[in-house]
Structure 1
Amino acid sequence: MNKTPAENPMVDAGWLRALQAQASQPPLRPRVPLWAGDSLIGSVEPDFLCQISLQPLSNGHEQLLKEERSGVSGWCLQGEVSAGLNRVAAALQTAGLAGVWRNEQLAVHNERGERLGTVERAAVRPLGITTHAVHLVGQTADGRFWVQQRSLTKANDPGLWDTLMGGMISAADTLQTALVRETWEEAGLELGKLGDVTACGRLSMRRPSEDGMGAGYVVEHIDWYRCTVPQGLRPVNQDGEVEQFCLMDARELLSRMQHNEFTTEAALIQAAVLGLT
């Protein structure tokens, strides 16, 4: 597995190109900016927010205004960011335009990475708000991979294979606390008992989403790590979101990846581990 993709007969070069292309897909339809005050926080389809009803603010001003800035039309959220975005999220849910409601707040940042507020997770894809996630690749001492099959009832990618752990970073978490928490919740493993936990890079995803009745857009940054799972430790799911865990050697892993049995994110991360990208 240490050959380049072009030299490795096990690697379908067309599949690898298609996989890489999945990480950067344009929206299905045009989108316009979503601002909060002077800051860009997301994007929406031009008339998407016309479908929801919001009460005016206490000062009588509308909560969402159509504006034009430097010749670009978009929508601007008025007032306090967290309160305003969560009112929008509730209105989207009422209109049947939100994703699966999680009662989980995610951080909302401006273009400089400064945190401006939080919003219900169900609203981030319809509003094109950038999210952050963390993944952990787990290998045994002999190089085999611990992977999980996502629950068959998951809203996204049910039944597909994934890395040992992958989860969203909530507003209450830092990257490190999310790594610790998600490793326990998804795999029942304590991070401190794993060997050689190493930060390996960041994967950025842009692609259309089915949320918002097909009007959503994913913008996500995934920080991923590798570790060694010591002999005798086996992952055991704690939160009901994993169907099963399995050990795969590199050959089986690559074969299943090329048969599109893995999520796009997991395939891209594990392709990097295998030296394919």
Structure 2
Amino acid sequence: MSGQPVPGWVPAARRQAQQPPAAPRLPFVVAGHAVGSVAEGVLDEIALTPGYSLPWLLSKKEHHGAAAWHLDAPAGDVTAALAALAQALRQAGRCGAWRDEQLAVCNAAGERIGTVERGAVRPLGLATQAVHLVGSAPDGRVWVQQRAFDKPTHPGKWDTLMGGMVSAADTLDTALERETWEEAGLRTSALHSVAHGGHVDFARPSSDGEGVGYMVERIDWFHATVPEGLVPENQDGEVERFELLPTAEVHARLARGEFTPEAALVLAGFYGW
């Protein structure tokens, strides 16, 4: 934990992490559960345009006294209904980068009601979960990665040792293990003192779907010591390079805005700010 005063960029970064939608959004209700939100006009394109025929009814009607978009699918068909809607969003150019990766869709109680393609979560304002790992050397320096320049979000920005999404097939622990291997070529069992450090919450506009997305995400972050002699090596092509930086250099790059917004706030938590 840092004994230094909180740097000026930290409060601003926290404000940026919590922003209202850039344009009006309507609640998105699936099988009777309010699970997200949609920018006005986006689902009108799909519901009213020939060619976007969905096997389940997509309609605008009241939910708790206010207008909302409803995808009326039986409880057992939620995943299939969301898959059809995701494809329609993709055809309409209103989807984020298509990943062929399923993420959990949960109701207000945190219960999973289905899964959906990752590229559709921001346009539909669905809550997601991610995991980050801050990796320190025994001498206190910190491992960081530069994101690949062809990444769909924040290309070339600096990041923690590992940051990735928790997929529908994951628990928090399995996501930590899988992503640490894929991004850094390290097994968590080979690291020392792996521990949960805290979490960071984001709710802010997203550029996905030509600017109609909204990001709602909880990031659980962990910290660990990378033993002497272990060097991160990317396995999935999503990292440009790794660097082992002294604390002062990490602080300087944070102050210059060279890290992703997510990594910046994770590192703020790590440094006790």
Letter in 1 for 2:117: E
Partner of residue 117, structure 1: 114
Q: Is the 8 A contact 1:63 1:84 kept in 2?
A: no
Question: 1 CA distance for matches of 2:54 and 2:136?
Answer: 54
Closer/same/farther in 2, CA of residues 170 and 2 from structure 1, 3 Å limit: closer
Question: 1 CA distance for matches of 2:148 and 2:248?
Answer: 24
Q: Is the 8 A contact 1:55 1:63 kept in 2?
A: no
Partner of residue 140, structure 2: 143
Q: Is the 8 A contact 1:26 1:207 kept in 2?
A: yes
Verify: 1:42 aligned to 2:36, yes or no.
Answer: yes
Q: CA RMSD in A?
A: 1.2
| Identical counterparts, % of pairs | 53
Question: 2 CA distance for matches of 1:170 and 1:51?
Answer: 29
Deviations 1:180-239 (A, max 9, x none): 000000000011000000011111111111111101000001111000000000000000
Q: Is the 8 A contact 2:78 2:113 kept in 1?
A: yes
Q: TM-score, normalised by structure 2?
A: 0.94
Q: Is the 8 A contact 2:54 2:85 kept in 1?
A: no
Partner of residue 10, structure 2: 16
Offset at 1:55? 2.1
Q: 1:158 aligns with which of 155, 160, 170?
A: 155
Question: 2 CA distance for matches of 1:74 and 1:210?
Answer: 22
Verify: 1:2 aligned to 2:26, yes or no.
Answer: no
Verify: 1:55 aligned to 2:53, yes or no.
Answer: yes
Q: Is the 8 A contact 2:199 2:266 kept in 1?
A: no
Q: Is the 8 A contact 1:46 1:74 kept in 2?
A: no
Q: Is the 8 A contact 1:130 1:218 kept in 2?
A: yes
Partner of residue 239, structure 2: 242
Partner of residue 217, structure 1: 214
Question: 2 CA distance for matches of 1:92 and 1:99?
Answer: 9
Where 2:208 maps in the other structure, the secondary structure is: coil
Partner of residue 126, structure 1: 123
Offset at 1:70? 2.7
Offset at 1:96? 1.0
Q: Is the 8 A contact 2:197 2:270 kept in 1?
A: no
Question: 1 CA distance for matches of 2:169 and 2:31?
Answer: 24
Partner of residue 30, structure 1: 24
Partner of residue 268, structure 1: 265
Question: 1 CA distance for matches of 2:31 and 2:80?
Answer: 14
Letter in 2 for 1:266: A
Higher helix share: 2
Q: TM-score, normalised by structure 1?
A: 0.93
Question: 2 CA distance for matches of 1:219 and 1:70?
Answer: 22
Letter in 1 for 2:59: L
Question: 2 CA distance for matches of 1:243 and 1:160?
Answer: 10
Verify: 1:74 aligned to 2:68, yes or no.
Answer: yes
Question: 2 CA distance for matches of 1:56 and 1:183?
Answer: 38
Letter in 2 for 1:31: R
Offset at 1:46? 2.3
For structure 1, list consecutive stretches of 5 or more residues without a partner in the other structure.
Answer: none
Question: 2 CA distance for matches of 1:2 and 1:271?
Answer: 9
Offset at 1:261? 0.3
For structure 2, list consecutive stretches of 5 or more residues without a partner in the other structure.
Answer: none
Closer/same/farther in 2, CA of residues 250 and 37 from structure 1, 3 Å limit: same
Q: Is the 8 A contact 2:197 2:222 kept in 1?
A: yes
Where 1:21 maps in the other structure, the secondary structure is: helix
Q: How many matched pairs? A: 266
Deviations 1:33-57 (A, max 9, x none): 0001221111001221011253253
Q: Is the 8 A contact 2:198 2:269 kept in 1?
A: no
Offset at 1:161? 0.3
Where 2:211 maps in the other structure, the secondary structure is: coil
Verify: 1:231 aligned to 2:213, yes or no.
Answer: no
Offset at 1:2? 3.2
